[in-house]
């Protein structure tokens, strides 16, 4: 059992597997029997069984025991709703209002619409809430993060599912992700061609492959140029607008500031751009900045942001294709795609200045 997997979810999975393989097709063994076999407390087994009763997989007869519903029909949907779901964990800052995830949802909605499907957004998949949602959808695209693995397993048991952003620890679940490592490495190498050697990096969260991959790409690019890793040039961000400002302020307060900053997303990069300007410095004359995502605002700010463009349309196409195939009973297990990104050169990166950046003294009026 994976350490991150909740015990009652694990117990549910094992009971389902036994039913699915027709090892149990009538009365369920006692709770203490399962407890002994799985090495889990019988109270946890009871919770798992109660959950399966709520889902219609099992039913109870007072004083006689717990029985399996028709094992061939259990948890199987036979009618199509022509709706697909998009699950984004509610702990994501700004949720669907965030510039990046609103862009992703729009792309999914357009792609699903080509095949007559509507796209539904939801952020809560706990217990009975998801049971009701599952009745209304045929498949789900999940923005996957390690903290929601139990929820992903719950979704998988009810409908077809594909992960984006990160792969699941359950590698049988198909996924469409980004080549975060090489996308950042290419961007840092571009800064090297402009003469930059002292480059700061504002990271994303390190709780998933996205954040870890982007940081690893930065470090690998430095190593390729025989530049020693300097942890002082790494500021831990969280993808929020605020940490972009704080990170930029941190770098600019150094006795020897970096000549360029790359940010793990555009929100932080745009905030850093604003902070640099407020400090009386010019972008890109005094300091270069590169972002990641290519949100709509990236091309609208002044100067226009040089950034890594994420192929959201291709993500949507691949994800919807996988769901459609899975819903038609074509096995999509272990199908994983990693998509390349493109560096879009605009106006915020330039050749390094020969002098260190110094604040411009603003004249008072």
The domains of the chain are located at 7-68, 83-178+313-340, 180-309
Q: What is the model's pLDDT at position 339? A: 98
Domains 7-68 and 180-309 share a fold: no
pTM recorded for the entire structure: 0.77
Q: Which residues of 93-127 are buried (b: 16+ CB within 10 A; e: fewer)?
A: eeeeebbbbebbbebbbebbeeeebebbebeebee
Nearest to 27 by CA among 60, 54, 55: 60
- Under a CB-based contact definition with an 8 Å cutoff, are residues 322 and 162 in contact? yes
Per-residue pLDDT of the chain (365 residues; tens, 9 = 90+): 444 456 778 888 888 777 666 566 678 888 888 888 888 888 888 888 888 877 677 787 777 788 887 544 444 444 688 999 999 988 888 889 999 999 999 999 999 999 999 999 998 766 557 778 888 899 999 999 999 998 898 888 888 999 999 999 999 999 999 999 999 999 999 999 999 999 999 999 998 999 999 999 999 999 999 999 999 999 999 999 999 999 999 999 999 999 999 999 999 999 999 999 999 999 999 999 999 999 999 999 999 999 999 999 999 999 999 999 988 876 778 899 999 999 999 999 999 976 444 443 333 32
- Under a CB-based contact definition with an 8 Å cutoff, are residues 234 and 201 in contact? yes
159 φ, ψ (degrees, to nearest 5): -145, 170
Fold of 83-178+313-340: Rossmann fold (3.40.50)
- Under a CB-based contact definition with an 8 Å cutoff, are residues 274 and 247 in contact? no
- Under a CB-based contact definition with an 8 Å cutoff, are residues 164 and 177 in contact? yes
Q: CATH class for domain 7-68?
A: mainly alpha
What is the rounded distance in angstroms from the CA atom of residue 58 to the CA atom of residue 31?
Answer: 14
Architecture of domain 180-309: 3-Layer(aba) Sandwich (3.40)
């Amino acid at each position: 059992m994976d350490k991150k997997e909740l015990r009652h979810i694990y117990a549910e999975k094992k009971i389902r597997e036994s039913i699915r393989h027709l090892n149990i097709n009538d009365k369920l063994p006692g709770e203490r029997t399962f407890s002994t076999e799985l090495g889990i407390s019988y109270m946890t087994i009871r919770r798992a069984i109660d959950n399966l009763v709520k889902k219609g997989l099992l039913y109870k007869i007072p004083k006689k025991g717990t029985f399996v519903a028709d094992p061939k029909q259990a948890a199987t949907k036979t009618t199509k709703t022509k709706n697909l779901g998009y699950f984004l964990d509610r702990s994501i800052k700004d949720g669907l209002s965030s510039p990046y995830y609103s862009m992703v949802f729009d792309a999914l909605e357009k792609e699903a619409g080509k095949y007559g499907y509507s796209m539904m957004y939801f952020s809560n998949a706990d217990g009975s809430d998801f049971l009701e949602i599952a009745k209304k959808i045929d498949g789900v695209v999940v923005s996957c993060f390690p903290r929601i693995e139990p929820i992903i397993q719950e979704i998988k048991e009810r409908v077809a599912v594909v992960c984006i952003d990160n792969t699941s620890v359950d590698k049988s679940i198909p996924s469409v992700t980004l080549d975060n490592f090489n996308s950042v490495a290419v961007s840092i190498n571009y800064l090297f061609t402009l003469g930059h050697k002292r480059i700061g990096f504002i990271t994303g969260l390190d709780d998933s492959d996205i954040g870890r991959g982007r940081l690893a790409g930065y470090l690998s690019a430095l190593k390729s140029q025989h530049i020693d890793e300097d942890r002082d040039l790494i500021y831990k961000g969280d993808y929020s607008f605020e940490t972009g400002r704080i990170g930029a302020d941190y770098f600019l307060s150094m006795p020897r500031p970096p000549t360029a900053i790359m940010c793990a997303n555009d929100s932080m990069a745009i905030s850093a751009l604003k902070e640099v300007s407020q400090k009386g410095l010019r972008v890109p004359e005094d300091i270069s900045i590169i972002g990641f995502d290519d949100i709509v605002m990236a091309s609208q700010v002044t100067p226009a942001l040089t950034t890594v463009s994420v192929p959201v349309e291709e993500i949507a196409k691949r994800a919807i294709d996988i769901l459609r195939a899975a819903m038609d009973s074509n096995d999509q297990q272990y199908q994983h795609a990693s998509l390349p990104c493109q560096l879009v050169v605009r106006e915020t990166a330039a050749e390094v200045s020969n002098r260190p950046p110094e604040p411009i003294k603003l004249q008072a009026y």
